[in-house]
Amino acid sequence: MAHSPTWQELQKGQAASFGHILMACAAAMDTAGQARVNHEAGRILARPALMRLVPHLSPAGVRVTELARRLDVSKQAAHKAVLDLAEEGFVEVDVDPTDARARIVRLSRTGIEACAFGLSCLASIEEKLREEMGDSAIDSLTQGLSVVLKSLAKSNSLSDEVSLVGRRSKTPC
């Protein structure tokens, strides 16, 4: 089987683009955050498949099919991940009051506490970066990335509107 080059190998001799560096930093921060959570918990608690769900969960709730759409996975895959989170006590799954056939997934009190714990783990990683890079560098990066995030969010909301044209949900969930 042919060797698949790593990102670093692809970048040798080339100036890395903003997008590549941004994606590599996000992946490295995610990996470091999951490792810190798992270390502090003393067991494997944070896994990539479950962590992809976290930004889409809230105490207000979301339908399983909406989670599947947002993650671009099957309803069955989203449901399996939700069951894993429910087994840990991080989410509650309730009947949708507007449609008894649908299920709403909500962060539980334990889930809210776990999210706070995860954010504290990310804060400790940031603290280490501040020691290495200095406050002004981190503050400048944070400010710049906030602008990038707002711009990308605006662009993504426009592309979501375009991609939804002609799509219809086949399930009531």
- Owning domain of residue 87: 52-107
Q: Are residues 86 and 126 in the same domain?
A: no
Number of domains the chain contains: 2
Which residue carries 């918990």 as its tokens?
A: 41
Is 121 within a domain? yes
Q: Are residues 35 and 57 in the same domain?
A: no
Q: Are residues 142 and 61 in the same domain?
A: no
d(CA 156, CA 147): 14
Residue 171: CA count within 13 A, CB half-sphere: 14
Is 139 within a domain? yes
Section 70-92 average pLDDT: 94
Is 166 within a domain? no
Rounded to 5 degrees, φ, ψ at 27 are -65, -40
* Per-residue pLDDT, 2: 61
Q: Are residues 60 and 91 in the same domain?
A: yes
Section 85-110 average pLDDT: 93
Average predicted confidence (pLDDT) for the chain: 86
Question: What percent of the chain clears pLDDT 90, i.e. is strictly above it?
Answer: 66
CA distances from residue 69 to 53, 72, 116, 129 in whole angstroms, order as listed = 11, 5, 26, 35
Section 83-91 average pLDDT: 94
* Per-residue pLDDT, 38: 94
Of 16-25, 63-72, 92-101, the range with the lowest mean pLDDT is 16-25
The CATH number of whichever domain residue 93 belongs to comes to 1.10.10.10
- Examine the pLDDT at 159 and tell me if it is beyond 80: no
